[in-house]
Amino acid sequence: PEPEPEPISPGSSPKKNEEPDGSYPAEFELVWQEYPKRAGANPKKSAFKAWNARRREGVLPGDMLDGVRRYVAYLGSTHKAGSEFVQQAATFFGPDRHFENHWDIPVRGGSGMPGIPVSPPDKTIPPGFRG
């Protein structure tokens, strides 16, 4: 007779691509270490689930790591690192594939506002005004 599989408690599922001790693969751990911190929740388990879904679709770990690095640079340039505006990793690695974005660093004008042209100030005093 064949051995019976171990019972799974209700509401749980077998963990795929996880080590028996509950740790994560080294390639995911590397990306998790580089992923930007955020204000608020960022569940590692959900991120790993999204990561595995992309891996099953054939996405290479290096491509996702490159996306994280572009995103970190973008957040640094926009001063949003560590804020609630940092995407949860599950979203970043999710079906919309935010890791594939270019995450171009915005170009700022002289005013510090992105993309708003500013003319030099006019310092002439209009006729009729006294100082």
Q: Give the model's confidence band at 7: pLDDT under 50 very low, under 70 low, under 90 confident, else very high.
A: very low
Number of C-beta neighbours around residue 82 at 10 A: 12
Residue 96 lies in a domain: yes
Output the CA–CA distances (angstroms, integers) from residue 109 to 7, 112, 118, 127, in the order listed.
62, 6, 8, 32
Alpha helices (H) along 9-130? 26-34, 44-56, 61-78, 89-92
Q: What is the pTM of this model?
A: 0.68
Mapping DSSP to helix (H, G, I), strand (E, B) and coil, where does residue 36 land?
A: coil
Residue 33 lies in a domain: yes
Domain that holds residue 43: 26-100
Instruction: Please count the structural domains in the chain.
Output: 1
Residue 15 lies in a domain: no
The string of pLDDT tens digits covering residues 93-113 is: 999 999 999 999 888 655 555
Contact yes or no for 60/88 (Cβ under 8 A): no
